[in-house]
């Protein structure tokens, strides 16, 4: 194959260079490792660039007093420190924040920026998903990452340019939210292209840890440069995601056929996980026509919504993310306002303690993916975790104040059940539906389906923290009632799909035609099981 034809097929330039140096191509398994690593780093960069706003809130709108203990800020200093009360050991903050965030309405303005970011993120998701399926995913993801880094950095430049106009910071966050919307549909689509359904849940459960890795990395980066001025907290993560975009451009193959020449057809045919391999009912394998990443027909939003299972899972994720993001944005504040073992922890320690919720979430995502693979039942697994989240949240609210140890254990258990279905739906389920057999292998719907599901969920992610701001004034019991109702509705939305999966597993297997095959059931049923 000539270089010109290779370039036309979309082979990343970095891979082309390595091929020439090695003198031979990589194996299919090696390409998969590359895809996993590059997409993991890419989305970790996205989350790292979202963390600065939470780190600098206390600098833009500071408390009038802070402890004088000589400790560096989290995550560098000590983890769990008891809060100090009274005037002893405290001093006035020399710099009284940054106008316009240090006034009486400073907190509401900071909250408004967060809501504006999430609103633009969720709205942009629908457009970004369709564009991702219509354009080259590698180039689309690169533009999204570089654009995100640019506008995140511009927000930080407001410090050096001495900008005090609220509109400037609001616009920067809104545009950054639009560019951030390119990330999730693109990386899920790439993973879905490279991995079949049999082990997709487990693989994506482990891979989904990039969210927590990105959050931790973003906190470390922002905290490490905070003493030099809050503007650096945005510029450094912005440069970080821009460099990640360069890595994506150089080394990420969006589709197997973009890097695997026709001579590798036999190797691909022997790999049961390759999505471009289709197994017929007679046990024969046939290779889908090799198409470049820019030659497939994209699927419209309406057509993607008609895929069985897309709407129920999208609505389920709306309420699942409502619950998950309420914990994400409000758990540190809740911990700082609640007695734990008869004591209050400092604001810094509350932030440290809240990260253990994410640790439970990592375990939950892996466990949900593994179970759904073993049972070949995505809906049953997601609904079971969602229903289990209800008693876990109530137990945390009731007994979380007994002691620090009990709080940690119950918090991690709650994180496991809250984030488990959230991670499963946004990864494996989205990829399953995006490769639905009704598409017949000749269209691109992975990014579009992912955008519909996660975009709908992101609306709930914005609504949950917003409602919590009002309900928390009436007491935290009202907030946990809202979370319980949200989890219950999320589970109920999957009832029909759960019943279908149970019926399929309890009934005797019957022969089906090739036209009826789709996720282990008839084409009209929204069952998400793999009959390989």
Torsion of CA 385, 387, 388, 392, to 10 degrees: 130
Residue 244 covered by a domain:
yes
Relative to beta strand 297-298, strand 285-287 is unpaired
Residue 192 covered by a domain:
yes
Range of the domain at 341: 13-67+98-260+299-505
* Upstream peptide bond of 100 is cis (omega within 30 degrees of 0): yes
Q: What is the spatial distance between Cα 392 and Cα 415, in angstroms, rounded to a whole number?
A: 9
Q: How many residues does the chain have?
A: 532
What pairs with residue 444 in β-bridges? Answer: 298
Identify the CATH number of the domain in which residue 341 sits. 1.20.1250.20
Specify the pTM.
0.72
Name the E strands within 289-430: 297-298
CA atoms within 13 A on the CB side of 511: 3
Relative to beta strand 443-444, strand 297-298 is parallel
Kind and range of the H or E element at 463?
A: helix 446-471
Instruction: Please give the structure tokens belonging to residue 177.
Output: 């939210």
Residue among 241, 224, 228, 137 nearest 189 (CA): 137
According to DSSP, residue 26 is labeled P
Residue 153 covered by a domain:
yes
Residue 513 covered by a domain:
no
According to DSSP, residue 415 is labeled H
Residue 34 covered by a domain:
yes
Instruction: State the CB neighbour count (10 A cutoff) for residue 120.
Output: 21
Average pLDDT of the chain, as a whole number? 77
- Please count the structural domains in the chain: 1
How far the first Cα of the chain sits from its last, in Å, is 34
Instruction: Please give the structure tokens belonging to residue 241.
Output: 């995601």
Residue 307 covered by a domain:
yes
Residue 457 CA: distances (Å) to CA of 104, 125, 188, 205: 32, 10, 15, 18
What pairs with residue 122 in β-bridges? Answer: none
Kind and range of the H or E element at 529?
A: none
Please give the chain's pLDDT, 532 residues, in tens. Answer: 444 434 344 789 999 999 999 888 888 899 999 999 999 999 999 999 988 887 777 678 775 544 434 444 444 444 444 444 444 343 333 446 888 888 777 777 887 888 888 889 988 988 888 787 778 889 999 999 999 999 999 999 999 999 999 999 999 999 999 999 999 889 988 887 888 666 677 788 888 888 878 877 887 788 788 878 899 999 999 999 999 999 999 999 988 888 876 544 444 434 444 433 333 323 333 333 344 444 455 566 677 777 888 899 999 999 999 998 888 777 877 887 788 888 877 656 776 787 788 888 889 989 998 998 888 888 999 999 999 999 999 999 999 989 999 999 999 999 999 988 888 888 778 777 766 665 554 446 677 788 888 888 888 888 887 788 778 778 889 999 999 999 999 999 999 999 988 988 887 554 444 444 443 344 444 434 343 3
Residue 268 covered by a domain:
no
Q: What is the spatial distance between Cα 202 and Cα 166, in angstroms, rounded to a whole number?
A: 44
pLDDT by residue (tens digit) across 110-165? 878 888 888 899 889 888 887 877 788 899 999 999 999 999 999 999 999 999 99
Residue 466 covered by a domain:
yes
Instruction: State the CB neighbour count (10 A cutoff) for residue 20.
Output: 9
Residue 409 CA: distances (Å) to CA of 105, 359, 479, 481: 37, 11, 21, 21
What pairs with residue 65 in β-bridges? Answer: 92
């Amino acid at each position: 194959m000539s270089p010109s034809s290779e370039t036309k097929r979309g082979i990343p330039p970095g891979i082309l260079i390595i091929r020439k140096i090695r003198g031979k191509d990589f194996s299919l398994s090696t390409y998969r490792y590359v895809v996993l690593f590059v997409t993991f780093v890419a989305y970790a960069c996205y989350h790292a660039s979202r963390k600065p706003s939470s780190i600098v809130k206390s600098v833009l709108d500071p408390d009038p007093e802070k402890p004088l203990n000589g400790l560096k800020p989290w995550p560098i200093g000590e983890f769990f420190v008891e809060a100090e009360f009274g005037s002893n050991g405290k001093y006035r903050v020399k710099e009284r924040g940054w106008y316009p965030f240090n006034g009486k309405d400073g907190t509401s303005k900071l909250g408004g920026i967060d809501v504006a970011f999430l609103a633009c993120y969720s709205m942009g998701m629908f457009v970004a998903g369709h564009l991702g399926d219509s354009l080259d995913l590698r180039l689309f993801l690169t533009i999204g990452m570089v654009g995100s880094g640019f506008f995140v950095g511009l927000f930080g430049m407001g410090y050096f340019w001495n900008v005090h106009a609220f509109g400037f910071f609001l616009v920067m966050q809104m545009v950054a939210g639009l560019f951030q919307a390119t990330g999730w549909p693109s990386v899920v689509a790439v993973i879905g292209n490279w991995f079949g359904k049999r082990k997709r849940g487990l693989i994506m459960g482990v891979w989904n840890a990039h969210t927590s890795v990105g959050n931790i990395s973003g906190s470390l980066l922002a905290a490490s440069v905070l003493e030099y001025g809050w503007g650096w907290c945005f510029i450094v993560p912005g440069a970080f995601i821009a460099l990640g975009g360069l890595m994506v451009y150089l080394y990420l193959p969006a589709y197997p056929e973009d890097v695997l020449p026709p001579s590798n057809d036999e190797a691909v045919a022997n790999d049961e996980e390759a999505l471009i391999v289709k197994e017929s009912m007679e046990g024969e394998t046939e290779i889908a026509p090799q198409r470049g990443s820019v030659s497939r027909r994209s699927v419209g939003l309406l057509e993607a919504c008609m895929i069985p299972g897309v709407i129920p899972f999208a609505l389920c994720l709306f309420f699942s993310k409502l619950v998950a993001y309420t914990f994400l944005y409000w758990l540190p504040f809740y911990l700082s306002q609640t007695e734990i073992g008869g004591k209050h922890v400092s604001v810094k320690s509350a932030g440290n303690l809240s990260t253990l919720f994410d640790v439970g979430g990592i375990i939950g995502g892996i466990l949900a993916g593994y179970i759904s693979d073993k049972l070949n039942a995505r809906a049953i697994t997601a609904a079971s975790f969602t229903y289990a989240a209800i008693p876990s949240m109530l137990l945390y609210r009731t007994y979380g104040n007994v002691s620090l140890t009990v709080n940690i254990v119950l918090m991690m258990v709650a994180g496991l059940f809250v984030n488990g279905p959230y991670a499963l739906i946004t990864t494996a389920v989205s990829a399953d539906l995006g490769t639905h057999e009704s598409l017949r292998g000749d269209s691109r719907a992975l990014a579009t389906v992912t955008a519909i599901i996660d975009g709908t969920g992101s609306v709930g992610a914005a609504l949950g923290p917003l409602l919590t701001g009002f309900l928390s004034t009436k007491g935290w019991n009202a907030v946990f009632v809202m979370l319980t109702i949200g989890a219950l509705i999320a589970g109920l939305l999957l009832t029909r799909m759960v019943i279908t999966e149970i019926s399929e597993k309890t009934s005797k297997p019957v022969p089906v035609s090739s036209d009826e095959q789709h996720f282990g059931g008839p084409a009209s049923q929204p069952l998400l099981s793999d009959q390989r």
